[in-house]
Amino acid sequence: MKVTKHIEKANGKTLFSFEILPPLKGQNIKSIFDGIDPLMEFDPAFIDVTYHREEYEYIERQDGLLEKRVVRKRPGTVGICAAIQNKYKVDAVPHILCGGFSREDTENFLIDLDFLGIENVVALRGDAVKSEIYFKPEKNGHANASDLVKQIQGLNSGDYLDESLENSCPTTFCIGVAGYPEKHMEAASLSQDLQYLKKKVEAGADYIVTQMFFDNEKYFEFVDKCREEGINVPIIPGLKPLVTKSQLSMIPHRFKVDIPNDLVIEVAKSKDNKAVKEIGIEWCIQQSKELLERGAPVLHYYTMGKSDITKRIVEAVF
């Protein structure tokens, strides 16, 4: 079922969903199931599965020269989605990126998903590879998520790259995109970022999932500003608790997300990461309760493979 249909059928009730990472290469599907099993009692509407683009490693050869090698440390997104839908009968939502994909790669990826009965995708530009400062699109690939959304919507209309195809079958993908309550790190301003988001919706995005935030007012203000701009699709808050003291500096640096001063003070004075985790869980519980009370369509948790933490939060909220 499409994510938007889940929201429509809920008739105002807030739903629960979460996001998982593919395991590192060499691990098997059991690690995924072990992370999902504890959360199934809360009846998730859907489960997102991230996609991780290639990385570059430099290996020293016997002659002393460095050899550049492409590696994928977390492959398996499509297979994991198929396994989730087969085992749990829950909609799996794969992420699809601009980075690492040509237009033909994108089309073939979507064809595979369509064959597997996967109806939802999250379309993202993705980050630059670690060896580059700025994002660079693939040759014949997309430079931004708006163009990726356009290609997916084109396939929904039966428009394939090979224009000579006759009687081509349209797909029916429901398309999610990312939204940034505190703006994307590369945007000059929140106003500019909202215009980019509006382009994604005008291109055919059906719903928005936000970057993590720790101040609910940032989310509520973001929703209001989106509505003022004519962005009227569902906006799903993305949540992730603090679990280590180092995240006080890492999260603002890497994601350009503010952490409320009350939370900073509590975490800074805690004696160890065990105490930080308890503070982070309680903060996320209170965030979740307020978002639920004020009618958020779905509470979407970034589990990062730690289902025990998410379970404690969801038990207290739903």
One-letter amino acid for residue 150 of the chain: K
Active-site option among 8, 19, 57, 132: 19
Angle between helices 103-115 and 77-88 (to 10 degrees): 20
CA 98 to chain centre: 14
Report d(CA 278, CA 253) in Å as an integer.
23
19 in catalytic set: yes
Q: Are 77 and 151 in contact (CB under 8 A)?
A: no
Helix (H, G, I), strand (E, B) or coil at 300: strand
Task: Give all strands (DSSP E) within the chain, no chain letters.
Answer: 15-20, 46-49, 55-60, 66-71, 91-97, 120-124, 174-179, 207-212, 235-239, 298-302
One-letter amino acid for residue 117 of the chain: G
CA 291 to chain centre: 19
Q: Are 205 and 96 in contact (CB under 8 A)?
A: no
Q: Are 56 and 68 in contact (CB under 8 A)?
A: yes
Residues with catalytic function: 19
